[in-house]
């Protein structure tokens, strides 16, 4: 029971694809890395363990400025903390519904 409660408070992450983003439309990975979406309701939510395992390939960013410096080093995909998504992009990410 304690482990379940503990897991509820662990940080969660989205994976942001700068490579597939155009203009103000942000693109995120779907669950299980099965494609891309612009809708945060359809985006995958990844664990701290996923982020730690992948951070040498997909760095954690806390601002868009970081994406530009990482892109100069060849990175185009990043982890973003779920709770920081609006801060990172400095605006509300609109969830698209069809």
Residue 4: inside a domain: no
Domain of residue 33 covers 11-89
Q: How many domains does the chain have?
A: 1
Closest CA to 15 of 24, 31, 28: 28
Instruction: Assess if residue 73 is contained within a domain.
Output: yes
DSSP string covering 40-64, please?
TTTS--B-HHHHHHHTTTS-EESSH
d(CA 29, CA 38): 9
Q: Using one digit for the tens of pLDDT, what is the confidence trace for 52-96?
A: 999 889 999 988 888 888 888 889 999 999 988 888 887 655 544
| Ramachandran area for residue 9 (φ above 0: left; ψ -120 to 50: alpha; else beta) | alpha
49 is a domain residue: yes
Going by C-alpha positions, the residue among 36, 43, 34 that lies closest to residue 17 is: 36
The model's pTM: 0.80
In a domain, residue 96? The reply is no
- Does residue 40 belong to any structural domain of this protein? yes
57: in domain: yes
Domain-located, residue 37:
yes
Please indicate, yes or no, if residue 1 is contained in any of the structural domains.
no
């Amino acid at each position: 029971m304690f482990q379940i409660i503990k897991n509820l408070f662990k940080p969660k992450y989205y994976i942001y694809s700068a490579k597939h983003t155009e203009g103000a439309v942000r693109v995120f990975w779907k669950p299980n890395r099965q494609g891309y979406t612009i809708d945060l309701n359809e985006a995958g939510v990844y664990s701290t363990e996923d982020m730690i395992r992948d951070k040498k390939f997909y760095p954690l960013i806390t601002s868009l400025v970081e994406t530009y410096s990482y892109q100069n080093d060849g990175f185009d995909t990043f982890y973003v903390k779920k709770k920081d998504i609006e801060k990172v992009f400095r605006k509300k990410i609109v969830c698209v519904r069809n």
